[in-house]
Amino acid sequence: KECGRLFNYLAGPPLCPGCAKKLDDVFEQVKEYVYDHPRVDMQEVSAEFDVTIAQIRQWIREERLAFAEDSMIGLECERCGTIIRTGRFCKGCKDKIARGLTELYPEEKVVEKQADPHDSARMRFLK
DSSP 65-87: ----TTSS--EE-TTT--EESSS
pLDDT at 111: 67
Angle at CA 26, nearest 5°, toward 63 and 44? 80
Strand 83-84 versus strand 75-76 pairing type:
antiparallel
C-beta separation of 51 from 45 below 8 A: yes
pLDDT at 48: 93
pLDDT at 72: 76
Per-residue pLDDT tens for 6-56?
Answer: 777 776 777 787 888 999 999 999 999 998 988 888 899 999 999 999 999
Q: Which long-range contacts (CB under 8 A, 24 or more apart) does 25-28 make?
A: 26/51, 27/59, 27/64, 27/65
Per-residue pLDDT tens for 100-109?
Answer: 888 887 777 7
Per-residue pLDDT tens for 110-121?
Answer: 666 666 666 666
